[in-house]
Amino acid sequence: MKENDIATLVTPQIVRDFDADGVVLLRQAFAADWIEKLLVGIEKNIATPTARGRIWDRDENDCVCFFDNQAWLNIAEYREFVEQSAASEIAARVLNTKRVNFFYDAVFVRTPGAQFRTPFHQDEPYWSVEGFDTCSIWMPLVEVEKKSALEFVRGSHRWQNRFRQTNFAALTGDQRDQWASSPDDEYEAFPDIEGERDRYEILSWEMAPGDCALFNGRIIHGGSGNLSKDRELKVFNTQWLGDDVRVCFRKEGMDPDHSQLMTKLGLKPGDRIGTEVYPQFHLASV
């Protein structure tokens, strides 16, 4: 399928919707050759996971979900996507800025029929950076039914609450998903979105390869999984950071916790992110 012109795709209305809702859908933002390349990358990634790669197998249908992150440093196809695709321009345009830094990539591969849903959570409170201007690009590389797509609580990126995030280790059984220390009591209990779905405006879409959902790192989101028996789900997600984002180490240190790596790279709390591990992309035309 043909890739759309990014300036035409990311209209002023899309920028406003992203700001107000915390999520927007772009149809056919990436051409088929990018999808094919990333699918090749995913096969390599599954065969040679990073030390952070893991397989979650607590699924009621005995299916699994492969997860890895920051694999772009090893997988040429991922690197090519990060450095040469329209992703950085999409992120910059929707964040209404001229430069963005790449933060990291994450892949989620569920086998056909997998039920395991990612619980509702926010991303930015897990990160080793803090700031409002973030954009994740969630791209399914296969067709995904609406019931299996990622879901977003519209506008929740602007809520001022500081929620205690999900302890993923309790769900996945993997100690790397465990908090390094319990989050402070000052955090509020996370709202029961799943149990009280009617109280929230939840957005999701049936999606095809080439489509992507752009979302703010503070929006409450969850889902995927709930797959039909004959449907797998392969997702490549990249996270991009804008102008107000600064390094911030949190003592709960949940994965993907980059604090040790950032310290090794000489990045300190309060710094704007950078280095070859978090490269900056400048967009003269934006």
Residues that bind ligand AKG (CB under 6 A): 106, 108, 118, 123, 150, 221, 224, 235, 237
- Token pair belonging to 117: 């849903």
DSSP state of 141: S
196: number of Cβ within 10 Å = 9
DSSP state of 232: -
Smallest distance from ligand AKG to CB 118, Å:
4
Measured over the CA atoms of residue 251, residue 235, residue 81 and residue 94, the dihedral's sign is negative
Smallest distance from ligand AKG to CB 68, Å:
12
- Token pair belonging to 241: 């950071």
Which residue number, 192 or 268, has a Cβ lying nearer to ligand AKG?
Answer: 192
Which residue number, 132 or 271, has a Cβ lying nearer to ligand AKG?
Answer: 132
Question: Please, what's the largest Cα pairwise distance for the chain?
Answer: 50
DSSP state of 128: S
Residue 51 CB partners (closer than 8 Å, separation 6+): none
Smallest distance from ligand AKG to CB 8, Å:
26
Which residue number, 142 or 286, has a Cβ lying nearer to ligand AKG?
Answer: 142
Q: Please, are residues 69 and 256 in contact by the beta-carbon 8 Å criterion? A: yes
Smallest distance from ligand AKG to CB 106, Å:
5
Which residue number, 95 or 219, has a Cβ lying nearer to ligand AKG?
Answer: 219
Q: Please, are residues 143 and 34 in contact by the beta-carbon 8 Å criterion? A: no
Which residue number, 88 or 118, has a Cβ lying nearer to ligand AKG?
Answer: 118
